[in-house]
Amino acid sequence: MESGYDNFAKMTINLKDLSIKLGKSSKTPRNDCAPAPEKGRRDVDFPLDDYFMSLAVLAKCRSVISERVGACLVYQEPRRAISVGYSGYIDGLSDGKKTEYVCCAEFNAIVSAYRYHADLTSATLYTTGVPCSRCATKIIQSGIKTVVHGGEEKSMEQEAREVFLLGKGCHTQVRMPNQETNH
């Protein structure tokens, strides 16, 4: 039987395909989602975790800076996507070159959620990257309880790990986005 990861891989390849189609000629997104395995039933091998990480991967495709990262914030119950964000320059500085003017995907997702007055208590943050220490402080202070990140656990930034350990209330998990989408 296929694992959730196999389905996730297929899903992200489809997303890549979709972004290529959009980038070339068609202005209308192609509906290339496979039919439900049984009418009215969801594919049980495509877990919600993969769905939310796929939204983060899709957001990442919008990033124009060298360190491309996407993030997606999800309510605890019911599990619904609240906001997405991607790494980029501050608004209005699309041709900026100074790294101090870069906003992380995680930060952008948090700011976007607050713009719409979302309560992030116990929310989950999916990120295709690894949170930096500055974002780790914001993650703790906003009440986010879980971070699912796409980097290797061992490569998680030391300072970010320390912030999470200090905050204690937030735990982290690794879930790798498909490498095919790292374009």
Ligand X SMILES: Nc1ccn([C@H]2C[C@H](O)[C@@H](COP(=O)(O)O)O2)c(=O)n1
Would you tell me which residues interact with ligand X (CB under 6 A)? 62, 85-86, 88-89, 91, 94, 103, 108
* Shorter beta-carbon distance to ligand X: residue 88 or 151: 88
DSSP letter string, 92-131: T-TT---GGGEE-HHHHHHHHHHHTT---TT-EEEESS--
* Shorter beta-carbon distance to ligand X: residue 113 or 160: 113
> By Cβ distance, which residue is nearest to ligand X?
88
* Shorter beta-carbon distance to ligand X: residue 40 or 92: 92
Query: Smallest gap, in angstroms, from Cβ of residue 63 to ligand X?
Result: 7
Q: How far is residue 147's CA from residue 130's CA, in Å, rounded to a whole number?
A: 9
Query: Smallest gap, in angstroms, from Cβ of residue 158 to ligand X?
Result: 25
* Shorter beta-carbon distance to ligand X: residue 108 or 124: 108
* Shorter beta-carbon distance to ligand X: residue 112 or 137: 112
Query: Smallest gap, in angstroms, from Cβ of residue 121 to ligand X?
Result: 22
Q: How far is residue 28's CA from residue 22's CA, in Å, rounded to a whole number?
A: 7
Nearest to 13 by CA among 145, 144, 183: 183
Q: Output the CA torsion sign for 19, 15, 126, 150.
A: negative
- Say if residue 78 is preceded by a cis peptide, omega within 30 of 0: yes
Q: How far is residue 154's CA from residue 50's CA, in Å, rounded to a whole number?
A: 21
Query: Smallest gap, in angstroms, from Cβ of residue 10 to ligand X?
Result: 25
Query: Smallest gap, in angstroms, from Cβ of residue 60 to ligand X?
Result: 10
